[in-house]
Structure formats: C-alpha cells, structure tokens
Amino acid sequence: MKNKTLSYTLIVIIHSLIALVVFVAPFLSKLYAILIPLVGFYIVYNSKNKNNEVLWVAAYLVGAEVFIRMTGGNFNNEYIKFNIIFFMLLGMGYSNFSSSAYIYWFFLILLVPGILMTFREIDYNGDVKKSLFFNLSGPVCLAICSIYMFKRKIDFDNLQTILVAIGMPILTTTVYLFLYNPSVKDVVTGTQSNFETSGGFGPNQVSTVLGLGIFIFFTQFLLFSKTKKETILNAILLIFVSYRGIVTFSRGGIITGIVMIVCLLFLLYYFSNAKGRSKFALIFVLTGLMGAGIWTYTSIQTGGLIDKRYANKDAKGRIKKDNLGGREEIMDSEIKLFLDNPIMGVGAGMGKQFRKQTFGTDVASHNEITRMLSEHGIFGILGLILLFITPLVLYINNKQHLYILSFYVFWLFTINHASMRTAAPAFVYALTLLSVQVKIPKKPEN
C-alpha cells in the first residue's frame, strides 16, 4: 500500500513539474504534444491492447487538450480529436468491437446528408472547409469512441484508472493557471468570464475541463483514498482544482462538475445497504462544508464578484438581461434556420456562414443540439435521439456502472454551453457505454 501511495504521489509531483517546465520554456509544449501519442503508441503496440491501453492513452489526451492548446503546443484545433480517433481505430484493430455498435455507424451515416449539402454550396471556400472540419470532428470522434467502447467489459478499478489518466494533465493545467496568474485579486474587475485567470485561453473550455477535474478528484477523495495521506492529498487537489475552476468566472463547467457529483452521490446512496446509508450523513456534511469553504474563500479573493456572477449580475449588482452570455441569440438563429430548412438543414458547418450574413461577424455555435438541428435537419434530430437514448437503454443491464449518470450529465451539459470544441464530451459520452463490473472482495475461508 505504501508503494501505491508513493507512486500516486510521484505522478502528482511529475505533472505539477510539467506545468512549471512548460511555463518556463513554452516551446516544450509542442514536444509534450508530440510525446503523448508517440509514447502511447509504444505502450499499445507492446501490450497489443490486452488491457484496453488505448483508453488510457485517449483519456490522457482528453485531459491534456486544454493545457496543450493554452500553451501553444497544438498543431491544429482538431489535433487531439484526430489522435483519439487514431487510437480508437488502433484498439479496434487489436481488440475488435461489438457487433451491436452498428448503432453508431448509423449515426455517422446520418451526418452524410449535411456534408453533401455543404458541397452543394456555390460559395464553397477555405473558410467553409475549415468550418466543416471544426463542426464534424466532435461528432465523428464521439461515434468512433462509442463504437470501440460499446459494451466493452471493464472493471470499476480500471475505469477509475482511466479517470486518473484524464485527471493528471488537468492537474497540470491547474498548476499552470496558478503560475500564469498567482494573484486572482489583481485581475478580477468584473463579472464576465476572465481570460487572465484562465491562462489567456477560452474560459469556457478551461472551466469545462476543470469541472471534469473536480468530479475526478472528488471520486479519488471519496472512493479511492486508502490511507490518510491519500485522503489529505486528494482533498488538497480537489480544493485546488475547484478554486481555480470557479475563478475562471465561466459557470458552465463548474455547475456541470457539481451536478456530476450529485448524480454520483445519488446512485451510491440508492444502491447502498442500510449500514452504508447511515454513513452518508457524514459524507454529505463533509462535502457541504468543503464546498462552502471553497466558495467563501473564492468570494473573499474576488471581492464578492463571484457571487454576483452566479447570480447573473454585473459588477454594480444589476441583473443582466441575458442568462447565457449572449448565446440565446445564436440559439434562436439556429432554430430559425432549422424551421426554414427542416429536412436537410443548411449543411454541416454552414450555420456560421449564415450567421456571418445575419450578424456581420463570425459567430460559432456554442450549442451542439441547436447546431445539429440547423445544419443537419431531420437527420440531426434522428442522430440526437440515438445519442440520448442508447446509454439509458444500456444502463438497464449495466447497473454496476456507478458513473454513468455523471458521464451522461457531463456530455449533455457540456454540448449545451461549449458545443464539442474539445474532445472531452465525445470521450466521456462513450464511457457511458462501457460494461462495468465492480469486483467485490471475497471473504477469506476459515
């Protein structure tokens, strides 16, 4: 057990040092971005994917994406998604996939009419091509990940290893944010999303990945802390990630992380016996006290501005007219496009072009649901129905998957406020499809 604690602690230290090294020498971010798939390929090739090593590699890429992008290590916006798709296909080559996964092949086919509509556009140019890749890389990544993970058997401990693989580079991101902006007080002047506290990168994406990190380190703290040292370490990591996530002033990712925790606690309580449920009062109290402490400290550091942000007020305490930071107007335009083109939609990636004509500026969609409607029409509706229903149907015979509701919520909430800009919602959605088994330790025979 001591060795296990040491190794976990060592991994935490290494990933904290990665942030420091890249902060001092930013050009090393590109080396980091290259090394992940190279080392990952070596691991998968040597193991022949016997233990689903491609999931560990893909999970690490998911966790590292925002860090790589904010530090200039990305070779293009879809670099991580393309790498994840490659590793999922590599995993299929070694370990095949379920024949029942045809559902997600069908989802890919549903995207084709929207692509054909785009090719029919007379004004087809470089911007449209870029927009096509930008909007379709997420759904394609989701489909390929889902095909690989569909009903793939995995035990609960291995699932947690996958989460830790996501969580470690998220810790790197958090440490980098602290180095980039050690004093929150000096840069917070209003209630809008803050680029300074987000490492100079998009607060929405940073908040999203840190919200996922909050859930990951909460599960480590609650379920996988075997010693007092691990408990203290995971509590510190949870507090650190939560604080830096909140001060991005982007609400979507943090609210998502909180709802994920609530879903987990609900399932744990529901499936616990009477003895287990009696301990939940203490868990609820500790979780509530920790949350209240983090929020109080954050409120002090931001001079109360964070309270106004979550109350949808400006710095002077006035209620803002919009609740979603201007996204309502984009969503309304996409719904209008759908109503005008209900069968085929306007074409994959074309919504942005239509908004450019309407608003006079390039405005990308923040909502994957309304984007699918406007750009894919009725085929988009069918695709969304398939995505919504399949994990819930699988759960009927997959009750040991304790994280399924949390993963489902992360995907659903994230695509509503951050679309599929990063690979995280695609990969986490696919995790709902795993067939999870909780190993119960056998009692020793007398």
Give per-residue pLDDT as tens, 273-295: 877 787 888 888 889 999 999 99
The CA-based angle 44-45-49, given to 5 degrees, is 45
pLDDT band at residue 323 under the 50/70/90 scheme: low
List residues bridging with 154 in a β-sheet. Answer: 436
Give the range among 205-219, 273-287, 304-318, 373-387 with minimum mean pLDDT: 273-287
> What's residue 103's pLDDT?
94
Give the range among 169-173, 181-185, 348-352, 400-404 with minimum mean pLDDT: 348-352
pLDDT band at residue 42 under the 50/70/90 scheme: very high
Tokens for 87, please give them: 């590793």
> What's residue 162's pLDDT?
97
Q: Is the pLDDT of residue 2 over 80?
A: no
Query: What's the CA gap between 240 and 336, in Å, rounded?
Result: 43
Q: Is the pLDDT of residue 153 over 90?
A: yes
> What's residue 51's pLDDT?
93
Mean pLDDT for 416-441 is 90
Q: Is the pLDDT of residue 361 over 70?
A: no
0.85 exceeded by pTM? yes
> What's residue 445's pLDDT?
47
> What's residue 324's pLDDT?
59
State percent of the chain over pLDDT 90. 67
Mean pLDDT of the chain: 90
- Give the long-range contacts of residues 181-184, CB within 8 A, separation 24 or more: 184/247, 184/301, 184/302
Query: What's the CA gap between 302 and 190, in Å, rounded?
Result: 9
Tokens for 104, please give them: 């997600």
pLDDT band at residue 314 under the 50/70/90 scheme: confident
Q: Is the pLDDT of residue 200 over 60?
A: yes
Mean pLDDT for 157-180 is 97
